[in-house]
Amino acid sequence: MNAVNESPRRKELTRLAAQLFVQEGFDRTTVRMLAQEMGIKSGSLFHHFRDKQEILAAVIEEGTQNALSLARQALESCGDSARERLHAMARAHLETLLTDRNAHVVALYEWRRLDAAARDHLSHLRDAYEALWEQVIDEALEAGLVHGDRFLVSRFVMGALNWTVRWYDPEGERKPGDLAHELVAMITPAAPLTASESTKV
């Protein structure tokens, strides 16, 4: 009912909605489908969410919050070198893309379906996340680890990472840490790895 309400029930419903939104797309997912997946009738759905849009906003907010806190955590617990921090960010990004896959796919594909108010609110969250990235990229540039335009490098990196939802297979052999390692290796001149890059959580 309340927009700020974060009851466990609502969280669970949000998780189910995310799954359906990924399977069918937001527009093709009807309130009746959502209700059935949740084990209730379509009318009851509007007790938890004001309207369909609010469900979408809840899904995206959940995913973005998780990404943000995971990234902050990763930066706190990694080493100080620019290379380690870059690797930690990439790895955190890929890990949240894996664990909250549905929410992030929805955020990437259905962002435009948000109404103006929700988009405004959520873009602040996203900006906070991207600011972390720009900071780490800046450090990498200053350390001479990466070369090029600050704006372009961060865009290219974000693109490479976000594109992974298209082809990454969580059941496969490659782990998020491996992908992060390969990406960092690709954009930096060859240099020996520090120990923490292959072991740290």
Q: Which residues bind its own copies (CB under 8 A)?
A: 25, 27-28, 109, 112-113, 146-149, 152-153, 155-164, 166-167, 179, 182-183, 185-187, 189-190
Residue 169, both tokens: 């297979």
Least distance to DNA, CB of residue 121, Å? 18
Examine residue 51 and tell whether it contacts DNA (CB under 7 A). Answer: yes
Length of the chain: 201
For 63-118, give the DSSP string: HHHHHHHHHHHHHHSS-SSHHHHHHHHHHHHHHHHHHTHHHHHHHHHHGGGS-HHH
Residue 138, both tokens: 């800046």
CB 41 within 8 A of CB 82: no
Q: Which does 31 bind (CB under 5 to 8 A by kind): DNA, its own copies, none?
A: DNA
Least distance to its own copies, CB of residue 152, Å? 5
Q: Which of 96, 44, 86 is nearest to 180 (CA)?
A: 86
Least distance to its own copies, CB of residue 189, Å? 6
Q: Which does 187 bind (CB under 5 to 8 A by kind): DNA, its own copies, none?
A: its own copies
Examine residue 6 and tell whether it contacts DNA (CB under 7 A). Answer: no
Q: Which does 144 bind (CB under 5 to 8 A by kind): DNA, its own copies, none?
A: none
Least distance to DNA, CB of residue 45, Å? 7
∠ CA 60-156-199 to the nearest 5 degrees?
Answer: 75
Least distance to DNA, CB of residue 33, Å? 7
How distant, in Å, are the alpha carbons of 27, 67, 154, 161, 185 from that of 52? 10, 24, 34, 29, 43
Chosen residue from 3, 6, 30, 178 binding DNA by CB under 7 A: 30
Residues at the site binding DNA, with contacts judged by CB under 7 A? 1, 7, 9, 29-32, 35, 39-44, 46-48, 51-53
